[in-house]
Each structure stands twice: as structure tokens, then as C-alpha cells.
Amino acid sequence: MTPAPFAGAGDLVLTPRGLRFHGRDIPCCIGRAGTSRHKREGDGTTPVGRHRIAGCLYRPDRMARPNRWAVPIRPGDLWCDDPGHARYNRLVRAPFASSHEALHRADRLYDLVLLTDWNLPDPIPGRGSAIFLHRWRRPGHPSAGCIVMAPGHLHRIARAVVPGTRLIVQPLAPKMAEPTRT
């Protein structure tokens, strides 16, 4: 597959070879069910389309601020994934009774998170929430829909992108191939 049409040098472009950024293919994984043009909450897919980086979250107790616009993750920070709740696909605070994902975790999965604008700013219930770029559990292990990679690559991207940087997701099979080293 060729790079997405109209992709710029500063864009992040998901390809079968990895996440293309600044002329390099970064090894990554996507949702366990591949990509979809019809993303639904909990379907395990990464949504196809042109998205934007909308924010950056980080754990200040575990790392220095990766860029000027990064926001600290605090104990009690959660992400609402309940399609029936008014705060669906938004950062919320504990205590929170509806379905959510903890951002302040014991593991290092969400130590650094790049937020995308998927299903924002006006979330459509059930269309999917929390499409992030974050650290992978281990190489080759798919996500629930996010784009995941090694922490070093994620840190380099977080230092280089700005809010509004485009993320172009092309249709892909569930398991991405390890990119060829350039």
C-alpha cells in the first residue's frame, strides 16, 4: 500500500509497515480486529480516517513533561467509555460510577498518551471512545483500538507533534507486520 494521498511530511500515517513519521516506519500495533470505517464501542478496531492529535497526557511522577502542552495525569483521572453517559469519551474524575478506564495505572501503559480527536468534540454515543497513541504491553500485542508502540518511539513522537498534527489511518488487517529497518 502506498502512503495516503495528500500526506504531509509531519503527518503520522498508519501503513502495513508501521506508523510512518518523518520518513521512518515505527513498529506499532493496532486494534485486535484491525481497522474499520464503522467503528463501534468495544469492537476492537482502530478507526479509518484522518484524525488529529488533540492532546497529550503524562504521568509527572514517572517522567518529565514531554512537551509544553502536555497535561499531567492525576490519581483519580478516568476516561468515560459509557455510551449512555453525558461525559462519554471524555476525561472524568473518580468517583465515577459509569463505565470508564483508569488513566492513572499501576502499570506503565498510560504513562504517556497522545489523544486523538476520534469521536470528538461532540461524541456520538456508541461510536467509540479513547482512541489513543500509547505504549504497547509488549511488541506484537494488539490493542483494544488504540495505536500502540515502544515507549521510546512514543516519546520521540510526543516531543515532535503539536495539537492538530494529522493521524491518517488506512484500512489494515488486524496484525501489522514488523517494518523493515531503514
* Tens-digit pLDDT string for the chain (182 aa): 444 555 677 899 999 999 999 999 999 999 999 999 999 999 999 999 999 999 999 999 999 999 999 999 999 999 999 999 999 999 999 999 999 999 999 999 999 999 999 999 999 999 999 999 999 999 999 999 999 999 999 999 999 999 999 999 999 866 554 444 43
pLDDT for res 6: 59
Task: Report the chain's C-alpha Rg in angstroms.
Answer: 15
pLDDT value for 173 = 67
Pairwise CA distance, residues 124 & 5, whole Å: 27
pLDDT of residue 172: 82
**Domain spans in the chain, listed from the N-terminal domain onward:** 13-169
Cell of 60: 509527572
C-beta neighbour count of 41 within 10 angstroms: 18
Question: Residues 21, 30: contact at Cβ < 8 Å?
Answer: no
What pLDDT does residue 2 have?
44
Amino acid at 182: T
pTM: 0.91
**End-to-end alpha carbon distance in the chain:** 17
In 10 A of CB 91, how many CB atoms?
17
- Given a contact cutoff of 8 angstroms between Cβ atoms, the answer to whether 41 and 81 are in contact is yes
Domain 13-169 has what CATH class? mainly beta
